[in-house]
């Protein structure tokens, strides 16, 4: 089986994902800004919550894909797993950046300050630095095989911080609010619907971006292979 034939289904689903993402984005915007009532205490600024949580979920999910793909690459040595890893890492960094930008906007209204070295905030910032370092390492190593192996090891180790971020509000005293518990959500029914829709929307958007970035990585590899063959021919 050729590498072209091994491309993940996410690439083959790009047209459907594009239209699904567009439709879901429009519906979620209407839900968040027109359907859901403003928070009684925070007012309209609370609406950022839906995108903050959806971005956090997809950041975790993206880094989980990096973790799984990195293990698969080390086990098989197949190039498409490395492409999937770097594609998901880049998107995960984007989502984490959104989390770190939207959180302080909410915090400024709720806490009266933009930033607090709270365990949840601090571990999220560390997570951002870990995967930025992952991308820097990939750019710094020239040899394709060494870069892929080194990045895979780093991607596996770096994932350790994801459960730490998730559990930080339960392990340590934190001012970060918690409205989602194992057995309930402290939200009005309409807010729950809007939150679920936002998470689904961002997840579909993640899938679409992942397929696009994977395809770009595959094309880049084909160009590099062509250049190498051209040099060998000369």
Q: What pLDDT does residue 7 have?
A: 59
Q: 80-89, 122-131, 185-194: which range is least confident on average?
A: 185-194
pLDDT band with cut points at 50, 70 and 90 for residue 51: very high
Instruction: Provide the 3-class DSSP secondary structure of residue 43.
Output: strand
For 76-90, b/e burial (b = at least 16 CB within 10 A) is eeebbbbbbbbbbbb
8 has a pLDDT exceeding 50? yes
Q: Is there a contact between 107 and 116 (Cβ–Cβ < 8 Å)?
A: yes
151-156: average pLDDT: 93
Nearest to 124 by CA among 181, 174, 71, 184: 174
Residue 177 has pLDDT above 70, yes or no: no
Taking 60 as the threshold, does the pLDDT of residue 71 lie above it? yes
Pick the closest to residue 83 from 94, 98, 71, 70 (CA basis).
Answer: 70
3-state secondary structure at position 13: coil
Residues of the chain with pLDDT > 70: what percent? 87
64-83 mean pLDDT: 94
User: Tens digits of per-residue pLDDT, 109-140?
Assistant: 777 778 778 888 899 999 999 999 999 988 88
- Is the pLDDT assigned to residue 217 strictly greater than 90? no
Across the strands, what pairs with 39?
A: 43
Residue bearing the bigger pLDDT, 116 or 67 = 67
How many alpha carbons fall within 13 Å on the CB side of residue 189? 0
Residue 234 confidence class, pLDDT cut points 50, 70, 90: low
3-state secondary structure at position 143: coil
pLDDT for res 5: 46
Q: How large is the average pLDDT for residues 93-105?
A: 93
CB contact at 8 A, 210 and 91: yes
pTM here is 0.86
Average pLDDT, the chain: 85
Rg of the chain over all Cα atoms, to the nearest angstrom? 20
- pLDDT score recorded for residue 204: 96
Mean pLDDT of 182-205: 82
* Average pLDDT of the residues in 18-39: 89
What pLDDT does residue 2 have? 43
């Amino acid at each position: 089986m050729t590498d072209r034939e091994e491309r993940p289904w996410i690439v083959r689903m790009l047209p459907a994902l594009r239209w699904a993402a567009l439709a879901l984005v429009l519906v979620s915007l209407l839900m968040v800004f027109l359907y859901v009532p403003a928070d009684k205490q925070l007012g309209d600024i609370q609406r950022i919550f839906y995108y903050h949580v959806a971005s956090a979920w997809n950041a975790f999910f993206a880094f989980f894909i990096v973790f799984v793909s990195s293990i698969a690459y080390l086990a098989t040595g197949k190039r498409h797993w490395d492409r999937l890893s770097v594609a998901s890492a880049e998107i995960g960094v984007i989502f984490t950046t959104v989390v770190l930008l939207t959180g302080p906007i909410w915090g400024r209204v709720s806490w009266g300050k933009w930033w607090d070295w709270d365990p949840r905030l601090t571990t999220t910032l560390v997570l951002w630095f870990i995967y930025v370092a992952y991308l820097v390492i990939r750019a710094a190593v020239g040899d394709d095989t060494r870069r892929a192996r080194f990045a895979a090891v780093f991607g596996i180790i770096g994932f350790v911080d994801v459960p730490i971020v998730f559990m930080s509000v339960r392990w340590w005293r934190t001012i970060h609010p918690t409205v989602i518990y194992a057995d309930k959500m402290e939200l009005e029914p309409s807010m729950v619907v809007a939150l679920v829709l936002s998470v689904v929307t961002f997840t579909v958007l993640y899938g679409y971006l992942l397929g696009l970035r994977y395809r770009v990585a595959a094309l880049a590899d084909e160009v590099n292979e062509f250049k190498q063959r051209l040099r060998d021919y000369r």
